[in-house]
Amino acid sequence: MAGWPKVSHVLYTNGGGAREGAGCVSRGGQGTLGGMAKDESFDITTGADLQEVANAINQARKEIGTRFDFKGVVAEIDYEHGTNRFVLHAQDDYKLEAMWQVVAQRMVARNVPLKNLVRGTPQKASGGTLRQEVTIVQGIEQEIARKIVKFIKEQKYKKAQAQIQGDAVRVSSPSRDELQQVIRDVKAQDWGIELKFGNFR
């Protein structure tokens, strides 16, 4: 990508590469201003492409509608495009789990992270059926964000600093190599959600 050199096993998600201009470093090395290195930074975020979520759900609906094992039974997926939740409505526990397997396969095929789909407790509905709400995690929760910041501080990097910015974590340092090490270290941990690293500047 333009700007930052590539790092093995790191997925950059800023969409257009690091930008150049005021406040940005030049390609090929650390930028300087008055002989002092300027801080570079990136953001740690999480989330799913809701258009891909909608595509996956539509494909799952089509598959469920044609499968013999779902014929004549309740098997519905309720989803309002652009929202952060959908509901599975099934005849029983067995059908609910079968529906989830279809949905999960379609989500994976559309590059929607399953870690960001949180299944709620199934609730009894009319006619003895079951409804289960699935929440799509679209931002880093404060508790997880604090754990990420704490983890980065505990690694005792020379100059890297981390701070919570809304539902994201921003990491900055005058050393690009150090920032790349932060990315590797954070990615090596299991945070329960899929993290993205972007907005390089």
11, pLDDT greater than 70: no
Q: How far apart are CA 158 and CA 97, in angstroms?
A: 48
What is the tens place of the pLDDT at every residue in 58-107? 999 999 999 999 999 999 999 999 999 999 999 999 999 999 999 999 99
One domain, residues 113 and 54: yes
Q: Which of 70, 90, 74, 98 lies closest to 133, judged by CA?
A: 90
Last residue of a domain, one of 89, 104, 136: 136
One domain, residues 68 and 128: yes
pTM: 0.77
Per the structure block, which two tokens stand in for 11?
């997925």
What is the CATH number for 105? 3.30.70.990
Number of domains in the chain: 2
Last residue of a domain, one of 97, 114, 136: 136
One domain, residues 27 and 62: no
Q: How far apart are CA 156 and CA 153, in angstroms?
A: 6
174, pLDDT greater than 70: yes
What kind and span of H or E run contains 31? none
The distance between the two most distant Cα atoms of the chain, rounded to a whole number of Å, is 74
- Contact yes or no for 162/39 (Cβ under 8 A): no
One domain, residues 80 and 146: no
One domain, residues 122 and 67: yes
One domain, residues 41 and 57: no
One domain, residues 121 and 58: yes
Last residue of a domain, one of 84, 101, 136: 136
What is the tens place of the pLDDT at every residue in 43-63? 999 999 999 999 999 999 999
One domain, residues 124 and 143: no
What is the tens place of the pLDDT at every residue in 12-43? 444 434 333 333 333 334 444 445 668 899 99
Per the structure block, which two tokens stand in for 174?
């005058």
Per the structure block, which two tokens stand in for 19?
């930008």
Domain with 126 in it = 50-136
One domain, residues 56 and 124: yes
What is the CATH number for 34? 3.30.70.860
- Give the distance, in angstroms, between the CA of residue 191 and the centroid of all CA atoms in the same chain: 11
One domain, residues 146 and 198: yes
One domain, residues 61 and 116: yes
End-to-end CA distance of the chain: 13
